Amino acid sequence: MKKPIKILVISVLAMSVSLFVLSIGARISGIYINTTPSLPVGFYKVVDEPIASGAYVAFCPPQNAVFDMARDRSYINRGDCPGGYGLLLKRVFAQSGDRVLIDQAGIIVNGEHLPNSAQLTADADSQPLPQYRLQAVLDDSEYLLLSDVNPQSFDARYFGLITRDQIQQVVRPILTWSH
11 and 95 fall within a common domain: no
Sign of CA dihedral 121, 95, 74, 19: positive
Where in the sequence is the domain holding 14, given as residue range(s)? 1-29
pLDDT above 90 covers a percentage of the chain that reads 79
Q: What is the per-residue pLDDT across 44-84, written as a single tens digit (0 to 9) for each?
A: 999 999 999 999 999 999 999 999 999 999 999 999 999 99
Mean local confidence (pLDDT), 22-27:
55
Confidence at 143, pLDDT banded by 50, 70, 90 = very high
Identify whether the C-beta of residue 100 lies closer than 8 Å to the C-beta of residue 72. no
39 and 25 fall within a common domain: no
Residue 21's pLDDT is 54
25 and 40 fall within a common domain: no
Mean local confidence (pLDDT), 81-96:
96
- pLDDT of residue 10 exceeding 60, the answer is yes
126 and 111 fall within a common domain: yes
Three-state secondary-structure class, residue 23: helix
Please give the DSSP secondary-structure letter assigned to residue 25: H
44 and 65 fall within a common domain: yes
Identify whether the C-beta of residue 142 lies closer than 8 Å to the C-beta of residue 161. yes
Confidence at 25, pLDDT banded by 50, 70, 90 = low
Identify whether the C-beta of residue 147 lies closer than 8 Å to the C-beta of residue 168. no
What is the Cα–Cα distance from 169 to 128, expressed in whole angstroms? Answer: 31
| CATH number of the domain residue 159 falls in | 2.10.109
Residue 15's pLDDT is 59
Longest dimension (CA), the chain: 68
Residue 26's pLDDT is 55
Q: Which residue has the higher pLDDT, 28 or 84?
A: 84
- pLDDT of residue 22 exceeding 90, the answer is no
Residue 6's pLDDT is 74
78 and 55 fall within a common domain: yes
2 and 81 fall within a common domain: no
- pLDDT of residue 127 exceeding 90, the answer is yes
39 and 18 fall within a common domain: no
17 and 56 fall within a common domain: no
Residue 179's pLDDT is 59
Q: How many domains does the chain have?
A: 2
